[in-house]
Structure 1
């Protein structure tokens, strides 16, 4: 069955294969994806504005120190994600997937709106960065429960047929969050003077999250619990926390490690290299015009959409493992030379601006998107397929957020710090390159194929 035929089947309401359908899958998918989009939009707006927030909240005579402080604050939110995943993941196994969705999205929305009203260092001094870090911690706790939990929720609703394709759309919410945030900032920078943007314009993306939060809460209120969890509830009068049991079971412990090291860490590295760090690199190291960098970032994100969906569909045909392995191996080989080429073409464009130089940069960004798309397209389904139903939420969410928070979230900070320590714009890139190489070897040897897994077991 080809891609168009699968899309046609999704348009027609039908009962899902393998489990009893509650409601329409399209409604579930839209509501789940929109909520996850809001989480990513809120969470990644901070990364998009890292260069702007540095001097406002961490003033310093050294611009590199201000950038590092801003990136460190972004990293703080990522570091606490595993704590949120441990808390909310365990609760998801006990009280259900849906209640956790409502809690996490409200927490994220509250913290993000508060950032938009936060006074700067010039207004309240040291309290400005302290409050910013505190709100970032709340964002991190919320993201820990949402990101990963959304994958389990959507996959348990998807049934057994075309699971990779149907769940791949959730992986677009992170890039979509960056895209919407970047478009807003580009629009604001075009229509506001630099002084106006620095004074109040940067707050607008945070304020807009109020409207998005209202829509997301309304949509999620109408969602039902997953049929898989409802079936588990019928079999057991009391759903217990499985967090500690996960570490006692050798098979689950092994799969949690593989998920952490091979899947989630690799996906996080490729995401932050291709979608976050490229923009920072082009603005700070290459020193391209920020507005031009934003346009290039939009192009890279748009390229990622069809590539991710295609990878999810392909994983239903050939398996999750070969598609994911292709993404990891390609990323291992390409990341380091990709940034060298970006530096070269960026310098050529600055010296003599031509369309060909921009095309070259676009091709490199598109290749990075290809590596990421192959990695994350099957990822949503794989997160749930690796674990039995009673352990699934806690076993999948904790390693996934640990990897995203400690490996991916700290990557821009670590790479920037290594570059500055070695006095070289590329030294830090050996970190993601070596990590991906090790992950590729482990995945090749130990990662199981899961596309035929029965989710109700």
Structure 2
């Protein structure tokens, strides 16, 4: 070996290693900024869900508690229903002006609407204008969430590269559970520190006020974000334009949008709202467990979900996205009803005997439900981007994803509660998500493509 060549070889190795470290550092920065912003969106959006039982008498007073609860859940659902409108608007902007500018707009809109919710007067103070203003703020939150959730998945995936894409992007899916966790812990602590009268009077406003601090942090860490390499390449090729209408004209993209909506995003949304939202409402209102106890159980469930989601993303890199997602859908369809039957039995047993064993059983069931959810949402971030060509990706991915989350998942607590009350059976409404999961599983087995290893710069 020529000694003179050694330094050159070492220099090349050092440069290669340096570039790899730089890329990892850059991706870490992008991931933190994207995830924190999405966490804030979910925290803001789902704080309302955590307070749904409180909002009933404050904004929708009625002699019938069930009527107030349904009205509160309907207001929560309104924010979910308009998410597709936000995704259509901001998804098209993301294809045309870039992924990064849209992030700044959506985070500001969500933060402003949430902070304002903390200052709303109640029905007792201004009458019918209180619920009207609350619904208006929920509409703004829904528009913002439509642009952020889904768009964030595209942004992060386009920065992730081709290796371990499922594992790297699975962390974004933790932001929904972490948003609920932060909201739940906050509300639980407030209810511990404050008297019921204090919490009902002004304590419920504090989680909304805290959004102002979180918004400032999100703006600070997002302002230095870079545009995705995929979008920069599209810009060089002059292919940056609104693609929303073109998506529906292209048969293959239209088919993949339907598969994303019906099989992946709807299934994930159904399991998410069953496991992370409705189960807490069910235990509080149908089983009549103490709210503080239910919040603690929800915290345990969410903590279990975090590593399970990352594991599912990693597993999808090894065996493929499709088998992991299908396993979650199938097990969900088979086991949701028995799980809620067991929750009913153990909840009533705990109320009757204060049995620690019953409490332990409740925690185990909630952790099991978290496992089903993780199998679907762990690979979901990568799938959102991998299904579509680069120039159509933002609008093609965000619209069906938010349509599923908004219309299928977001309305689930309201529909299930309404069916339970209409049929006078606290478990009857569960057939709505079960039937949907069965149909989604059948269609996915036949038509959902495997996307692992897709080239994000080319056509799939």
Matches for 1:200-211 after TM superposition, within 5 Å: 200-211=202-213
Seen in structure 2, the aligned counterparts of structure 1 residues 14 and 181 have a Cα distance that, compared at 3 Å, is farther
Matches for 1:236-255 after TM superposition, within 5 Å: 236=238, 239-255=240-256
Seen in structure 2, the aligned counterparts of structure 1 residues 189 and 14 have a Cα distance that, compared at 3 Å, is farther
- Cα distance in 2 for residues equivalent to 1:21 and 1:305: 25
Q: Give the 3-state SS of the residue equivalent to 2:426 in structure 1.
A: coil
Q: Please report how far the alpha carbon of residue 240 of structure 1 lies from its aligned counterpart in structure 2 after TM superposition.
A: 1.5
- Aligned position for 2:170: 168
Q: 2:226 aligns with which of 205, 224, 227?
A: 224
- Aligned position for 1:278: 279
Q: Give the 3-state SS of the residue equivalent to 2:390 in structure 1.
A: coil
Residues 384, 392 of structure 1: 8 Å contact kept: yes
Matched, 1:90 2:92: yes
Runs of 4+ aligned structure 1 residues displaced above 6 Å come to none
Q: Deviations over 1:58-116 (max 9, x none)?
A: 00000000000000000000000000000000000000000000000000000000000
- Aligned position for 1:304: 305
Q: Please report how far the alpha carbon of residue 15 of structure 1 lies from its aligned counterpart in structure 2 after TM superposition.
A: 4.0
- Cα distance in 1 for residues equivalent to 2:369 and 2:72: 25
Which 5+ residue runs of structure 1 have no aligned equivalent? 1-11
- Aligned position for 2:9: none
Residues 22, 227 of structure 1: 8 Å contact kept: no
Q: Please report how far the alpha carbon of residue 363 of structure 1 lies from its aligned counterpart in structure 2 after TM superposition.
A: 1.0
- Cα distance in 1 for residues equivalent to 2:295 and 2:273: 15
- Cα distance in 2 for residues equivalent to 1:427 and 1:32: 39
Q: Deviations over 1:274-317 (max 9, x none)?
A: 00000000000000010000000000000000100000000000
- Aligned position for 1:110: 112
- Aligned position for 1:4: none
- Aligned position for 1:260: 261
- Aligned position for 1:364: 365
Q: 1:148 aligns with which of 141, 147, 150?
A: 150
Seen in structure 2, the aligned counterparts of structure 1 residues 190 and 349 have a Cα distance that, compared at 3 Å, is same
Residues 73, 136 of structure 1: 8 Å contact kept: yes
- Cα distance in 2 for residues equivalent to 1:102 and 1:428: 39
Query: Could you state the TM-score of these two structures normalised by the residue count of structure 2?
Result: 0.95
- Cα distance in 2 for residues equivalent to 1:13 and 1:180: 37
- Cα distance in 2 for residues equivalent to 1:179 and 1:126: 32
Q: Give the 3-state SS of the residue equivalent to 1:24 in structure 2.
A: helix
- Aligned position for 2:159: 157
- Aligned position for 2:73: 71
- Cα distance in 1 for residues equivalent to 2:449 and 2:163: 19
- Cα distance in 2 for residues equivalent to 1:13 and 1:55: 59
Q: Give the 3-state SS of the residue equivalent to 2:449 in structure 1.
A: coil
Q: Please report how far the alpha carbon of residue 21 of structure 1 lies from its aligned counterpart in structure 2 after TM superposition.
A: 5.2
Q: 1:44 aligns with which of 43, 46, 54?
A: 46
- Aligned position for 1:446: 447
Matched, 1:347 2:348: yes
- Aligned position for 2:392: 391
Q: Please report how far the alpha carbon of residue 340 of structure 1 lies from its aligned counterpart in structure 2 after TM superposition.
A: 0.8
Larger Rg: 2
- Cα distance in 1 for residues equivalent to 2:128 and 2:24: 51
Seen in structure 2, the aligned counterparts of structure 1 residues 398 and 13 have a Cα distance that, compared at 3 Å, is farther
- Aligned position for 2:201: 199
Residues 59, 66 of structure 1: 8 Å contact kept: yes
Q: How many corresponding residue pairs?
A: 442
Q: Please report how far the alpha carbon of residue 50 of structure 1 lies from its aligned counterpart in structure 2 after TM superposition.
A: 0.1
Q: Deviations over 1:404-437 (max 9, x none)?
A: 0000000000000000000000110000000000
- Cα distance in 2 for residues equivalent to 1:14 and 1:274: 42
Q: Give the 3-state SS of the residue equivalent to 1:35 in structure 2.
A: helix
- Aligned position for 2:12: none
Q: Give the 3-state SS of the residue equivalent to 2:391 in structure 1.
A: coil
- Cα distance in 2 for residues equivalent to 1:354 and 1:271: 28
- Cα distance in 2 for residues equivalent to 1:139 and 1:26: 28
Q: Give the 3-state SS of the residue equivalent to 1:390 in structure 2.
A: helix
Query: Could you state the TM-score of these two structures normalised by the residue count of structure 1?
Result: 0.96
Q: Please report how far the alpha carbon of residue 239 of structure 1 lies from its aligned counterpart in structure 2 after TM superposition.
A: 1.8
